[in-house]
């Protein structure tokens, strides 16, 4: 029997990753045998870990915190999405053995958002300026939204993001952290790590318009402080689990040329977390 193709997700920490479960579910839809493992890398050893896994037959990998920036730096070819994000979450090798990099986070978020709302003409606020926001910014700017404001505790991180995306056809502005009272945004996306550290987010009164949506890019208990604060302003809410599944589907499609069905995988994953 042929050895199944070998893929992985690399991060630190990585034991919590749902990627193996997701990719095995995708593979099962096509009757594929797949080896997909969660692999921890030392904080100073991503490149060495990638090289070791490649020697063991690795065909491609997903990359998560804290290695997305380093992954992009190792690539010989990169997609526009990865270049604009300054980070890669998907790596693979072409037929000539050259390492390529892509970033499917933003496209994955869009796929999930469009299951719930029409993005056309929406006024958007993104909280944070780290890798999660950077990965989602360009696709959102090209999705027909009216404008995007960026707000981050460290304001100096916002300007480089705005500059890097200046050529895209969407107004992009900076908003002082903690401001926005009465702004009435249609969509507020939390890309900060506040929930992961157990810290809450105080949302200014009227930050969200009536009927607005609030989205956290993480899922589980870490998403709840922001989502609960948004619900208190009457917002409809969405966590990052759908985005996780959709970005994985795009990586799967890039590697295998097959487009998996995501709703049943998302439903099963959400049930397993309850």
pLDDT tens digit string along 7-18? 999 999 999 999
Tell whether 89 is in a known binding site: yes
Tell whether 33 is in a known binding site: no
Tell whether 90 is in a known binding site: no
User: What are the catalytic residues?
Assistant: 68
Tell whether 132 is in a known binding site: yes
Tell whether 105 is in a known binding site: yes
Tell whether 130 is in a known binding site: yes
Q: Give the residue ranges of DSSP H helices in 56-130.
A: 68-74, 80-85, 105-113
Per-residue exposure over 206-226, b if at least 16 CB sit within 10 Å of its own CB, e if not: ebbbeebbbbbbbbeebbbbb
Tell whether 64 is in a known binding site: yes
Which parts of the chain have pLDDT scores under 70? 1, 195-200
Q: How far apart are alpha carbons 164 and 5 in whole angstroms?
A: 37
Helix, strand, coil content of the chain in percent (nearest 5): 40, 20, 40
Task: Report pLDDT for 202.
Answer: 86
Tell whether 154 is in a known binding site: no
Beta strands in 156-251 (DSSP E): 172-174, 185-190, 208-216, 236-238
Task: Report pLDDT for 1.
Answer: 66
Domains of the chain are 6-103+242-273 (3.40.50.10860), 106-239 (3.40.50.720)
């Amino acid at each position: 029997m042929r050895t199944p193709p070998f893929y992985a997700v690399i991060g630190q920490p990585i034991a919590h990753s749902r990627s193996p479960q997701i990719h095995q579910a995708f593979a099962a839809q096509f009757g594929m045998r797949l080896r997909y493992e969660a692999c921890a890398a030392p904080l100073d050893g991503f490149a060495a870990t990638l090289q070791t896994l490649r020697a063991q037959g690795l065909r491609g990998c997903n990359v998560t915190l804290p290695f997305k920036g380093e992954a992009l730096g190792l690539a010989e070819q990169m997609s526009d999405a990865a270049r604009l994000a300054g980070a890669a979450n998907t790596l693979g090798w072409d037929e000539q053995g050259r390492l390529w990099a892509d970033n499917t986070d933003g496209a994955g978020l869009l796929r999930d958002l469009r299951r719930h709302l029409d993005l056309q003409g929406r006024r958007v606020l993104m909280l944070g300026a780290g890798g999660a926001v950077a990965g989602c910014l360009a696709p959102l700017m090209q999705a027909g939204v009216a404008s995007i404001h960026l707000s981050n505790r460290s304001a100096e991180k916002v300007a480089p993001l705005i500059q890097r995306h200046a050529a895209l056809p969407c107004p992009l502005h900076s908003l002082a952290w903690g401001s926005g009272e009465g702004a009435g945004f249609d969509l507020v996306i939390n890309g900060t790590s506040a929930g992961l550290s157990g810290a809450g987010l105080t949302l200014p009164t009227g930050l969200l318009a009536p009927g607005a949506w609030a989205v956290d890019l993480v899922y589980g208990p870490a998403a709840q402080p922001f989502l609960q604060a948004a619900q208190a302003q009457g917002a409809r809410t969405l966590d990052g689990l759908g985005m996780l599944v959709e970005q994985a589907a795009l990586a799967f499609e890039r590697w295998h040329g097959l487009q998996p069905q995501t709703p049943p995988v998302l439903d099963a994953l959400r049930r397993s977390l309850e």
